[in-house]
Amino acid sequence: DQRRILGQQLREEWSKYSLFPRASKAAEFVEGKEVTVHGFLSRRRVKHSKLVFADIQVNGPSIQITSSFVDLDTPGHLTSQALRAIPLYSPVSVTGTIAKIHGEPGSASRIDLDLNSIQPLNAFPKDIIVSDGVQFPPSSRHLQIRFSDPLRARLLARPQIGFQLRKSLNGLGFTEVETPILFKSTPEGAREFIVPTRRKGLAYALPQSPQQYKQILMSSGVRGYYQFARCFRDEDLRADRQPEFTQLDLEMGFATGEDVMRTIESLVSELPAALNAQFRMVKNGDEIYPISKHGLGPKDATDDLQWLDLPSPFPRLTYQEAMARFGVDKPDLRVPFEIRRVDQVLTPDFISMITGLESPIVDAFRFRPEPTGEVASDSSSAFVDDLMKSLPSALAKNPDGAPVALVFNTKRPLCGLSSLGHLGFEGLTGESSGLGDFEDLEDGDILVFQARENKAFQGGSTALGTARNLVYQSAVSKGLLPRDLSFKFLWVVDFPLFTPDNKADPGQGGQAGFSATHHPFTAPLTDEDVELLATDPLKARGDHYDLVVNGVELGGGSRRIHIAKMQEYIMREILQMTDEGVGQFSHLLEALRAGCPPHAGFALGFDRLVAVFTHTDSVRDVIAFPKSMKGEDLTVKSPGRITSSQLATCHLAFAGRK
Amino acid sequence: DQRRILGQQLREEWSKYSLFPRASKAAEFVEGKEVTVHGFLSRRRVKHSKLVFADIQVNGPSIQITSSFVDLDTPGHLTSQALRAIPLYSPVSVTGTIAKIHGEPGSASRIDLDLNSIQPLNAFPKDIIVSDGVQFPPSSRHLQIRFSDPLRARLLARPQIGFQLRKSLNGLGFTEVETPILFKSTPEGAREFIVPTRRKGLAYALPQSPQQYKQILMSSGVRGYYQFARCFRDEDLRADRQPEFTQLDLEMGFATGEDVMRTIESLVSELPAALNAQFRMVKNGDEIYPISKHGLGPKDATDDLQWLDLPSPFPRLTYQEAMARFGVDKPDLRVPFEIRRVDQVLTPDFISMITGLESPIVDAFRFRPEPTGEVASDSSSAFVDDLMKSLPSALAKNPDGAPVALVFNTKRPLCGLSSLGHLGFEGLTGESSGLGDFEDLEDGDILVFQARENKAFQGGSTALGTARNLVYQSAVSKGLLPRDLSFKFLWVVDFPLFTPDNKADPGQGGQAGFSATHHPFTAPLTDEDVELLATDPLKARGDHYDLVVNGVELGGGSRRIHIAKMQEYIMREILQMTDEGVGQFSHLLEALRAGCPPHAGFALGFDRLVAVFTHTDSVRDVIAFPKSMKGEDLTVKSPGRITSSQLATCHLAFAGRK
C-alpha cells in the first residue's frame, strides 16, 4: 500500500543521509593529510568544466575545497559531478587532502582542501532563496541565525560573557542557587503570569524576579548568592522589553548597598580584558560585533574596536542631580552637552512664547556639531528643521510647550537668537550668568529650550531630557558627532522610596495612594528617611542604586529591610496594604524574623548587558528566540490557542460561557 | 499618633542594627592584627564570670572568640556583658585581635580571636528552639538550611558541579543558548502547564524540555548547544519527581548518537578529579557530603571517601538484555547478583506453587550475605522473614504470584530447597544446568524465585527486578552487604521506538494505539527499523540511549530525525496524529526542511546528578526550594489561591460558574 511505498522511499533517503564519516579532530589537520570536515556547502565557483571551488562553512568561517580532474569517468570526475549536483547551502560531509594551512596550525586563518569525496546529509530546498543581504522573516529564525553573521556572532558571544561573570562571582565566594519558577502570586509590584493547576482554585505564578527567595536564602545563612534568573512580567511591551528576560540576580549577606556597588563595579570592570582575550571585533557596514579568536579567520581586531578599560569606581549621581543635569534618570554620559536651568536670565516674553505654563522652569542645552567629515555635514539649520519635523508626539504636542531650537549665527540679528530679546541674549550669553555653555557660542551652535512645571522631579525623564537624547542620536547618525564606542558607566542613587500610584503598574494594592518605587523591600537610606516614613513618606529616599551605561539602565539594586517589624510596618502602616496582601508575604516576614542578617543585592539585566557589550541597541539581537512587541514567538507561533479541555483540567472555562 | 511612636521605635532599632563595620579581607588575617568578622553567634561557653568563649559561624566552619577581663567596669567587662546579652544564633559583627591561626594562613583550619567589641545585627527570636539534631519543618526551609550541615553543604556543592560541566562543554566548543520558557502547547508526550495570556483564547505552555528549540538551533547551524534548562511536567508526582526540574540539555549537529555518548562519557568522567580538587568528603553519622577545601576546617578527606575515577567507555546493555539480566531498564550494577531464567530446570509442581500463570517464565537470583561485621548479622532466615513482611503491595499482591525466597541450609532436607523437589534441585544446582550462580551454593545463600507472563518485555521493570533492588537495599541497611560508594555507570540502548498507549501519559494523541516511547523525534536505529515502521512498528527500535548509574536513570538522549519528510511520515502515517496535531509542529518541520544537518542530543537530569555525586537518594536534598509530593512549595505556600479578577484578566472564569 501507499504507506509501504512511502516507507521504502524514506528508507532509501534515510540511508543516503544518515551514515557519514566522523569529522577529523583539530590535531589531524596537517598539510598533506586526508581529513573529513562537516559543514554547509556555500560559494561554489565553477572555473571550468574540470575545476570547481567551493566553501564549506564550519561555524562561520570557511574551508575552501578544490575539485579538479583530468580525465572523464575517473573518481575525480565523479566527485566533481557530485559536488556540482548538491544544492547550495546543504549540509555535507567532505573528505579531502589538506593542500595548505594559512597561518599557524591550530590557529589558522584559512584551510584549502583538495576534494576526494563529498556526501550530502540533507538537501537545501529550492524555494528558499538566499542572496547577499537577504532578510528572512522572524518566523524563519533558523534562517536568520544561519545567514546573519552579526546575529550568530552575538549569540555565540553571549554565553562567554555569562561564563566570565560566573567565574568572577565564584572567585568572590558567591554561590549560584536556582530558585523556583513555579512561584505564587504576591503584590510585589508588576503584573504576573499565572499558571493554573489541576487542584481546584489554586495557581502558581511566574516570578517577577527571585527577590523573595533570595532574601530567604540570606536568612538561611548563604553569604553571597547569584543566579542567571529567568524573570517574567506581564507588562504592556515597549521596544526593549520582553515578557521573559534573564537577569544576573545577586544578593550579599552582612552587606550594605555600598558593598554591592563595589562588587558590581569589579564584576563589570573585569569584562573588557576578558572579552579582548577571547574575541576580536569586526566592523561590517554599520554593524560592530565580536568574533571568537579561536576559529578560522583573521586574528586581530582593529585597535580602536577593542573593548576599552572601564575606570572604576563609577561616578555617582543622585536622582535629583541626574534629572536636573540630564533630564533623565539614566543619563547617557557620552552626550557632550548638559542641561542648564535658564529661566532666571530669560525674559517673560520669550518664556510665554514657548509655554503656556505660569511661572515655569525653563531648561536649555547647547549642542555644537563636530562634523565627522565622511558624511556631508548638514548645516545646523537643516538639522534643526529635520529634527523638528520628526519630533515624537509626546514632545511636539507636550501641553507644557514644544522644545524650541535656535541656531547661533553671527551673520544674523542678535546672532540668530533675537527671539530671546536683548536682555535675554545678554543674560544667557554674558559671563555673569555663570552658564558656561552659553558664554562662548560659535556659529552653528544649536540652543534648545524647554519649559516644565515648577515642581519636584518625578518619573524617569523630562521633555528636554528626551530631546537631548534625540539630538545626540540624530547628530551621530547624520555624522555631526562621531560615533562613541566607549561605555560610560555611572550609578544613579537616592531614589524616592515611594511613587504616587499610576494606572500602569498594579503596585502593592495598598490604600496609601502611593506604591513602592521599586519594590516594598527597599530599605530607607538614612535614619532621617526612616523618620520621614511616618511624617512625609513621599520625601523618604531609599537605599536604591541603578547602574546606567550610555543611557541604558543596566540594572538596579538596593539594600533590603532585614528587620521583620520594619518590613511589616511599611507594608501595613505606610503602604496600607490589606491583611491579606501582607499575609502573602508571611514567608518573607518569617525568614526576616529568624535573625536574618543585613543584606543588599542587585539585578543586572543580562540581555541588555550583552546587547551593550556587543554594540547593538536591541535585546532581540542577543536572544535566540525573542518575543515580538505583542509577546509572540513568531517562529514557533506562541502563544497558541487554548482548548476547553485544557481549561477543564484546571477547573476553568472561558469567561462568559457556562 | 500610634504610627509615629512605632516609627520612632523602628528608627532606633534600625540605627542599632543597620550600621556596622565592613568585614576584613582574607589578607588582613595575621596574628596580632585586629580584624572584623561577620557571622552568626553560636556555641557560647561561659567558663566563669570573667571568661567567655563563643563561636562565630562564618559559612559553616567557625571562628572562636574569647572574651575575658580582669576589672569590672572596664571596656573588656562591657564587651563581655554585650556578648552574654546577645541571643544565641543572632547575626553579629565582631572585632577582635587574632590570637592564633591554626594551620597555614589563607588555608587555616581554625582561627582564635580575642574579642574587642561585638555588635548584634538582628535578634534571633526566643520561640525558635535550636537543639542538637533538631528537625525544622519544610515550611522553615531557611532554618533547615541554616542548621543542617549536609543540606547546606550539598547546596553549596551543586553550582560547582554545574560550573565544572560548563567548563568542560565550553572546552569542547559547545555554546550555551537560553531558550524560551513561555512556549506553546504541543503534543510532545507529557502533560504541560499552561499560562493564559491577556489575549483572549491564547495561552503559552511551559516547556517539557527545550527539545524543539534545540532542534531549530541545529537547523540554524549551531554546532554544539547546551543549556541548564528548567523543564516542567504536570505529572502525578512520584518520590523523586518534581514538577519543575533542571536538566543539562545538549545537542550536537553533524553528529550521531555514538558521538553524543562519547561526549557525555568524557563530561561525566572528568567530574571526580575536578571535585576531589575542590572538596573533601566528610562522613557524619549516615550522611556523606562534600565540604569545600577553601573554607576553614580540616583539609583532607579520608582516602576511601574521595570520588573514584570512572572508567570509560561505560558498558552498554540493550534494553532486552537489561530487562533479562536485571529485571529493570536502569540496572544498579553495584548489586552483586543477577537474574537468571530458570523455568527450564524447574518442576511443574514448584511452578504451579508460585504462580497461577499458564506456561510462565520463571526467573531467579541468588543473594549471598557478606556480613560487614559492625552490624550484628541477622540470620538469612530472619532477613527473609523481614523482607516478606515488608514487601510493597505491587509485589505481595502481584497477580502473577508473589516472589518466593528459599534459604540454602545444608542441615535441612534438600538443603532447605525441598519445595523444588529432587528434580528441580538437581536441575538448578547441577553443573549441567549452566546456571553458574546456583552451582556453588553455601549455607545462608538466599534464592528468590518469581514468575512472569511469557511475553516480550515492556515498560521499566519486572517484579523480580524490583525485588532484586529491595533485597540489595535492605541487605546494605542491615549490614549484610557493605555500603558501596562507587558509581557504576552504564548505557542502556536499543529501546523500542513506540510503546502501547497507557492512561498515565497523554502521548501524541494519535490514533495508532501506541505513542512514541520517548518523544516523536527519535530516529529509528537502523535501516531495518525504518522498514519496520510500515510493517510492524512496535518492533522498531529507536536510536535512544539512557545513562544509568547505580539504579538511577541520570538522563537520556537520542539521535533525531533530521529529514522533514520522515518526521511528518512518523507523525501522520505511523502515529496517526491529526492534521491539527501535526500542525503544532510546523515550526519544527520547517526547520528540518531547510537543510537541517543530522543531529543527536542528550538531557542529563542535573538535580539527580548532583544527588548521586553528593551521596543522597533524594533530589530534595540538592534543591534549595523543592516541591512536596503534592507539588507545593511549603515555604512560600505555593500554589496559592487564584482570584476571579486574575482569571478575568485572561478572559477566564472558574468552571461551573457564569
Q: Which residue has the cell 549569540?
A: A155
- Could you tell me how many residues make up chain B? 658
Q: Per the CB < 8 Å rule, is B204 touching A193? A: yes
Q: Per the CB < 8 Å rule, is A125 touching B213? A: no
Separate counts of helices (H) and strands (E) for chain A: 19, 25
What confidence category does residue A507 fall into, taking pLDDT thresholds of 50, 70 and 90? confident
Higher pLDDT, A29 or B604: B604
Per-residue pLDDT tens over the stretch B57-79 = 886 557 899 999 999 999 999 99
What residue in A sits closest to B5 (Cα-Cα)?
A534
Cell, residue B493? 540502548
What residue in A sits closest to B191 (Cα-Cα)?
A646
Cell, residue B295? 573554607
Q: With pLDDT > 90 as the criterion, what percentage of chain B qualifies?
A: 76
Peptide bond into A21 cis (omega under 30): no
Q: Is A136 on the interface with B (CB under 8 A)?
A: no
The 10 Å Cβ neighbour count of residue A221 is 24
Interval B27-47 mean pLDDT: 93
B170 contacts in chain A (CB < 8 Å): 159-160, 163
Higher pLDDT, B564 or A58: B564
A232 contacts in chain B (CB < 8 Å): 181-182
What gap in Å lies between CA B339 and CA B457, rounded to an integer? 14
The 10 Å Cβ neighbour count of residue A171 is 10
Question: Are the C-beta atoms of residues B123 and A566 closer than 8 Å to each other?
Answer: no
Q: What is the pLDDT of residue A377?
A: 52
The answer, yes or no, to whether residue B658 has pLDDT greater than 70, is no
Q: 3-class secondary structure for B565-597?
A: HHHHHHHHHHCCCCHHHHHCCHHHHHHHHCCCC
Q: Shortest CB distance from B182 goes to which of A170, A244, A651?
A: A244
Per-residue pLDDT tens over the stretch B389-400 = 999 999 999 999
What confidence category does residue A374 fall into, taking pLDDT thresholds of 50, 70 and 90? low
Q: What are the residues whose beta carbons fall under 8 Å from the beta carbon of A29, sequence distance 6 or more?
A: A35, A98, A101, A105, A106, A108, A111
Q: What is the pLDDT of residue B373?
A: 60
Cα A143 → chain centroid: 22
Q: Shortest CB distance from B122 goes to which of A142, A259, A597?
A: A597
Per-residue pLDDT tens over the stretch B545-559 = 999 999 999 999 999
Q: Is B244 on the interface with A (CB under 8 A)?
A: yes
Question: Are the C-beta atoms of residues B116 and B95 closer than 8 Å to each other?
Answer: yes
Q: What is the pLDDT of residue A440?
A: 87
Q: What is the pLDDT of residue A658?
A: 46
Q: 3-class secondary structure for B164-225?
A: HHHHHHHHCCCEECCCCCCECCCCCCCCCCEEECCCCCEEEECCCCCHHHHHHHHHCCCCEE
Q: Per the CB < 8 Å rule, is B142 touching A22? A: no
What confidence category does residue A605 fall into, taking pLDDT thresholds of 50, 70 and 90? very high
Higher pLDDT, B276 or B431: B276
Which of A134, A227, A622, A636 to probe by mutation at the B interface, max B CB count within 10 Å? A636
Report the DSSP beta bridge partners of residue B97: B34, B114
Cell, residue B42? 553560636
Whole-number mean pLDDT of chain B?
92
Which of B636, B647, B649 to probe by mutation at the A interface, max A CB count within 10 Å? B636
What confidence category does residue B377 fall into, taking pLDDT thresholds of 50, 70 and 90? low
Cα B528 → chain centroid: 36
Q: Per the CB < 8 Å rule, is A598 touching B59? A: no
Q: Per the CB < 8 Å rule, is B636 touching A89? A: no
DSSP state of A574: I
Higher pLDDT, B238 or A109: A109
Q: Per the CB < 8 Å rule, is B217 touching A183? A: no
Q: Per the CB < 8 Å rule, is A159 touching B141? A: no
Separate counts of helices (H) and strands (E) for chain B: 19, 25
Largest CA distance in chain B: 98
ipTM associated with this complex: 0.94
Quick one: which H or E segment has residue A554? Answer: strand A552-559
Per-residue pLDDT tens over the stretch B188-234 = 888 999 999 999 999 999 999 999 999 999 999 999 999 999 999 99
A175-176 and A224-232 beta bridge pairing: parallel
The CA-based dihedral angle spanning residues B136, B137, B138, B139, taken in that order and rounded to the nearest 10 degrees: -110
Q: Which amino acid is at A586?
A: S
What gap in Å lies between CA B405 and CA B392, rounded to an integer? 15
Q: Per the CB < 8 Å rule, is A565 touching B145? A: no
B194 contacts in chain A (CB < 8 Å): 195-196, 642, 646, 650
Cell, residue A262? 563595589
Q: Shortest CB distance from B90 goes to which of A160, A563, A595?
A: A595
A91-102 and A110-120 beta bridge pairing: antiparallel
Peptide bond into A639 cis (omega under 30): yes
Q: Is B3 on the interface with A (CB under 8 A)?
A: yes
Q: What is the pLDDT of residue A239?
A: 64
Q: Is A542 on the interface with B (CB under 8 A)?
A: no
Higher pLDDT, B379 or A59: B379
∠ CA A149-A154-A157, nearest 5°, is: 125
What gap in Å lies between CA A125 and CA B200, rounded to an integer? 37
Tally C-beta pairs within 8 A across A and B: 448
Quick one: which H or E segment has residue A526? Answer: none
Among B81-85, B238-242, B482-486, which is the least confidently predicted range? Answer: B238-242
What gap in Å lies between CA A512 and CA B605, rounded to an integer? 48
Among A165-169, A257-261, A441-445, which is the least confidently predicted range? Answer: A441-445
Question: Are the C-beta atoms of residues B119 and B92 closer than 8 Å to each other?
Answer: yes
The answer, yes or no, to whether residue A60 has pLDDT greater than 80, is no
Per-residue pLDDT tens over the stretch A285-341 = 888 999 888 777 665 656 668 888 898 899 999 999 999 999 999 999 999 999 999
> What is the DSSP secondary-structure string of B156-179?
HHHHHHHHHHHHHHHHTT-EE---
Q: With pLDDT > 70 as the criterion, what percentage of chain B qualifies?
A: 96
Largest CA distance in chain A: 98
What gap in Å lies between CA B617 and CA B552, rounded to an integer? 9
Q: Per the CB < 8 Å rule, is B17 touching A57? A: no
Helix residue ranges per DSSP H, B243-379: 257-269, 271-278, 319-326, 348-354
Helix residue ranges per DSSP H, B486-583: 527-535, 564-569, 579-583
Domains of chain B, each with CATH number or no CATH: 2-120 (2.40.50.140), 153-309+547-558+573-644 (3.30.930.10), 335-483 (3.30.1360)
Q: Shortest CB distance from B163 goes to which of A166, A194, A593?
A: A166
Coil, helix or strand for A432?
Answer: helix
Per-residue pLDDT tens over the stretch A11-37 = 999 999 999 999 998 889 999 999 999
B141 contacts in chain A (CB < 8 Å): 216, 220
Range 38-77 of B in CB contact (< 8 A) with A: 38-40, 57, 59
Range 160-199 of B in CB contact (< 8 A) with A: 160, 162-163, 166, 170, 175-185, 191, 193-199
Q: Shortest CB distance from B598 goes to which of A121, A259, A649?
A: A121
Coil, helix or strand for A79?
Answer: helix
Q: What are the residues whose beta carbons fall under 8 Å from the beta carbon of B604, sequence distance 6 or more?
A: B247, B248, B249, B250, B264, B547, B554, B555
Q: Which residue has the cell 553567634?
A: B41
B196 contacts in chain A (CB < 8 Å): 194, 196, 642
The answer, yes or no, to whether residue B90 has pLDDT greater than 50, is yes
Q: Is A325 on the interface with B (CB under 8 A)?
A: no
Question: Are the C-beta atoms of residues A510 and A576 closer than 8 Å to each other?
Answer: yes
The answer, yes or no, to whether residue B649 has pLDDT greater than 50, is yes
Question: Are the C-beta atoms of residues B268 and B489 closer than 8 Å to each other?
Answer: yes
B599-605 and B552-559 beta bridge pairing: antiparallel
Q: Is B99 on the interface with A (CB under 8 A)?
A: no
What gap in Å lies between CA A143 and CA A151, rounded to an integer? 11
Interval B237-264 mean pLDDT: 92
